[in-house]
Amino acid sequence: MQVDKNHKEMKEETIEIPIGKWLYAVKHNKWMSVSIVLAIALIVSLFFVFNGGSAGGVSGDKAASNLIDFINAQGTGQAELVSVVEKDGMYEVTVSFNGQNIPVLVTLDGKNLVSNVVPLDGSATENTDGAGTDTNTIADIEIGNSPSIGNEKAKVVVFEFSDFSCPFCAAASGDNEKMNAYMKQNSPSWEPIVTNLMKEYVDTGKVRFVAKYSMGHSGGHPAQLVGWCLNEQKLYWKFYPKAFENQDDVEDLDKMKALAKGVGADMSKLQTCLDSKKYDSQFDKEQNEGNAAGVQGTPAFFVNGRLVSGAVPYSQIKALIEQELNA
C-alpha cells in the first residue's frame, strides 16, 4: 500500500534523540479523555515525526483544513474548526468533535500532526498513557455534597472528576471489560485506578475517595442524576461500577433506573428525587469546580490536590498516595 510505503520512508527520516522516556505534557491536551482518541488513533501511528523549520509553510486555515479533512475521512464523526493560532513554531488547531473542543498541534507546512511534544528542559516525567500530570500545583477542592467513601479522617483525599459516558473514565474505574482489554492491549502492565484504590487504600481506611462530575463525552446526565439521587440512599458506590459496566446505556434514564433497582434502591424515593430536579444545577457547579482546579479532560484525579490527568496506570496514583502518606 502507498500508506505503508510513506510510513516507512517517514520512519527512516525520523531523527531519534536519546533523551529517555517522557511525559506527554501539553497543558491543553484532552486526547486521552475524549472519544476522538479512538477516531484518530491512525493519525498518531502515521504521523509521529520530527519536522523542523517552517520552510514551505502554509496558512493556518490551510493547515486546519488538512487536519479536518483527515479526521472526517476516518468515518467516525464530523470535526469542525473552532480556531487556529500559530504557537511555539506550530499551529494549534482547535476542533469540535463529539461535543468536545480539542486542541491539536499541526506542523507549519500543514502536513503532519504532532502526536508528542518533548520538553527539552527536563520538566517532564515519565507517563506511559499519554496523559498529563501536574503535581506541582496544589488544588483546593471542597468535598461538599459530592459522593464520598472511606475514612473521613484519612490523611489522603483523592478526588476523581469523571463522566459516566467517558470511555477512559470507564477504563480508570476498572469496571468495563472492553476498556480494560483496550488499555492492556496498548500497555500490558496497565492496571485500573479505582478498583485497586478501593481495595488497597479506601477499604483499609487510608484514603477518602470523592467523585465529582466533569463532562468528558456525551454527558451521561441520566446516569449522573440517578447516581446523585442514590447517594441520598447511600447506594452511590454500588451504582458507580454498574454504570461503567453498562456504559452503552448511561444516556437511557429507564435503564439507569433499572440498575438502581438492582442495587436495592427505594424506587419511590428515587423518582421523587429525580422529579424535584434538585441536582440539575450540580452539573455546572462541579464542572466549574473542575475547571478552576485545572481539569482539562476526563478522567482527572487529585491526590491531596495534586493533579493526574487521564486513565494512567494505577502505579502512578499509588506512588503519589504513598508520598502523601509518608510526608
Q: What is the pLDDT of residue 43?
A: 38
Low-confidence ranges of the chain (pLDDT < 70): 1-56, 74-77, 97-101, 114-137
pLDDT at 212: 98
Angle between helices 236-245 and 221-231 (to 10 degrees): 160
- In this prediction, residue 28 carries a pLDDT of 33
| Intervals of CATH 3.40.30.10 along the chain | 133-326
Predicted pLDDT at 75: 60
Q: In the prediction, which pLDDT does 37 show?
A: 41
Residue 271 is predicted with a pLDDT of: 98
Domain 133-326 in CATH 3.40.1390.10: no
Q: What's the pLDDT score for residue 196?
A: 98
Output the pLDDT for position 26: 32
234 phi/psi in degrees, rounded to 5: 60, 40
